[in-house]
Structure 1
Amino acid sequence: MGFTNNRIAAIDFTRGISVFFLIIVHTMLIYGTLETQTETTIGQIIIWLGRGAAMYLIAMGISFTFSRRQSFYTIIKRAFYLLFIGYSLNFVKFIIPEFIFGGLPYRFLNAYHLKTQSLETSLFFLGLGDILQLAGISLLLIAFINQISNNKWLYFLLGLSIMILSKELSGFKTNIIGLEYICHLFFSNQYNVYFPVFPWSAFIFMGVFLGKQLKEINNDTQIFFKNLALQSLGLIVLGLSLVLTNYKYHFGDYYHLGPGGSIILLGIMMLCFWIANQLVKLFNPNSPFLIL
């Protein structure tokens, strides 16, 4: 149910909703006042909606599994395309407003300790690591992983390992020119990279794992989403147990999560997929509720 023409309605729905949420969050973070973000109900709601980034990444992993374009060079091409789009959006979001439309908001620049219309500011925002940079790098990794093995458990183990190791590697960097920026993209614990590869690529890898699970049961979405709900509850309990032992280590900073935070977020997002599937079934034109 909900699987037509190699598309899963619930996955497409959640991915579309998560992209919409990301746009709202980005707009508020750049142009909204601090009071709007922290002291208003709508601001708090929007901040929490931004947590849906993980949902987009999981959906990306699931969708990738069903893509017909699985050759090494095709994946590499898609990866560089995403990177190009990511850095182009940085230019459009930050550089154009900064130099053509009177500059970025002072409060926003001050949060990064930057001055308006300076070279440092331009380079900082042009190189900002966001979700499309993460997606591009993750696809590059997938292209090489597939050369080794296409086994679903390899993706599960990679995702789990990244979640476990992310906090230990957070902030790792080298002073070697050229490699320093790469280290930031992979391990940053600052806000020059919002979605470092550790831990956020784990959500894409887990999405690939889930997509392969769905393929193995011949795309039976009824079984898939039932299992997803049960798995999500187990992950939420496990993640919450870890977070309660040491909140600062396991969660603390949403953009630079530890093991417990990553696991509980994965569980919550998987549960959201199940809820989305229930909504899709409810509002399906053939639904008995709509017929009545």
Structure 2
Amino acid sequence: MNTYPAEVDIMEKNLAQGESKRIFYLDFARGLAVFFMIMQHSMIMHERTSGGGDTLLGNLFVLLGTAPAAPVFIFIMGGFAVRSKKSVAENMIRGCKIFAFGYVLNLLRFTIPFSLAGNTGEAVPLLFMVDIFQLAGLSLIFFSAFKKIAEHAFILPAFIVGILLISPYLWGVKSDLYIFDPLWGAGANNQFPIFPWEVYFLLGM
């Protein structure tokens, strides 16, 4: 059977896409979400605090980096987690690394600078801030633990509904123990607790 050059090109492209297992529009959306979250943090931490970032463009970055960016990022992460061929152990290790990286980032961007500036009162609480990395890491850990049972038709919707129903009762729960902050709470430094943000990861699955 003769194969024309154009057909060869198409076959090679399809093969390359199959091997890379990437979905362009999801990667693009995730990239935009990351970009806007970075810009949002920059505006809040530097521009707006110095009084020079309260502009239309600055507020636009803050808006896009807050409301749509984080849900989109976690939603897409859930979709990629389902398609992943990694083992349960590999996913759990990766989740632990992402979770730990969130605190390393807090140390570098908050605790050390605040300590050097003499503001030790905020240095320690900010070390335990729950940001997007803690949420992403815990989501991947929980997904790995419950992946098998989540394959049943009614289990995943039940988890989603359960989280939505339980979360309002946990938002006001405060504890002096920082270990509970990634799970629930409404503290100023608790940006992305599992309840209710885990819902977006599950919806992506």
TM range (shorter): 0.7 to 0.9
Aligned to 1:66: 83
Question: In the alignment, which of 26, 31, 34 is matched to residue 11 of structure 1?
Answer: 26
Q: In structure 2, what is the Cα distance between the partners aligned to 1:55 and 1:31?
A: 25
| Equivalent residues of 2:149, 2:155 under 8 A apart | no
- 1:4-29 superposed Cα distances (whole Å, 9 cap, x missing partner): 33211111100011001111111111
Q: In structure 2, what is the Cα distance between the partners aligned to 1:164 and 1:13?
A: 32
Aligned to 2:35: 20
Aligned to 1:185: 182
Aligned to 1:76: 92
Cα offset for 1:173?
Answer: 3.9
- 2:95 is the counterpart of 1:98: no
Q: In structure 1, what is the Cα distance between the partners aligned to 2:175 and 2:140?
A: 24
% identical equivalent positions: 29
Cα offset for 1:36?
Answer: 5.1
Please show how residues 22-37 of structure 1 align to structure 2 within 5 Å.
22-33=37-48
Please show how residues 220-259 of structure 1 align to structure 2 within 5 Å.
none
User: Does the C-alpha gap of structure 1 residues 90 and 157 become closer, same or farther in structure 2, counting only changes over 3 Å?
Assistant: same
| Equivalent residues of 1:162, 1:202 under 8 A apart | yes
5+ long unaligned stretches in structure 2: 1-13
Cα offset for 1:149?
Answer: 4.0
Q: In structure 1, what is the Cα distance between the partners aligned to 2:189 and 2:141?
A: 21
Cα offset for 1:151?
Answer: 2.7
Please show how residues 116-135 of structure 1 align to structure 2 within 5 Å.
116-118=118-120, 120-135=121-136
User: Does the C-alpha gap of structure 1 residues 74 and 170 become closer, same or farther in structure 2, counting only changes over 3 Å?
Assistant: same
5+ long unaligned stretches in structure 1: 104-115, 209-292
Paired residue type of 2:119: Q
User: Does the C-alpha gap of structure 1 residues 117 and 173 become closer, same or farther in structure 2, counting only changes over 3 Å?
Assistant: closer
Q: In structure 2, what is the Cα distance between the partners aligned to 1:182 and 1:26?
A: 24
Supply the RMSD in Å over aligned alpha carbons: 2.1
User: Does the C-alpha gap of structure 1 residues 93 and 42 become closer, same or farther in structure 2, counting only changes over 3 Å?
Assistant: same
Aligned to 1:232: none
| Equivalent residues of 2:111, 2:126 under 8 A apart | yes
- 1:161-214 superposed Cα distances (whole Å, 9 cap, x missing partner): 212332222122456xxxx32332211112211001111111001111xxxxxx
Cα offset for 1:78?
Answer: 0.9
Q: In structure 2, what is the Cα distance between the partners aligned to 1:36 and 1:56?
A: 29
- 2:192 is the counterpart of 1:195: yes
Aligned to 2:160: 159
Paired residue type of 1:117: N
Paired residue type of 1:207: G
- 1:14-64 superposed Cα distances (whole Å, 9 cap, x missing partner): 001100111111111111235556x52123211211121110000100011
Give the TM-score taking structure 2 as reference length. 0.81
User: Does the C-alpha gap of structure 1 residues 182 and 96 become closer, same or farther in structure 2, counting only changes over 3 Å?
Assistant: closer
The number of aligned residues is 185
Paired residue type of 2:169: E
- 1:93-116 superposed Cα distances (whole Å, 9 cap, x missing partner): 11343345xx4xxxxxxxxxxxx4
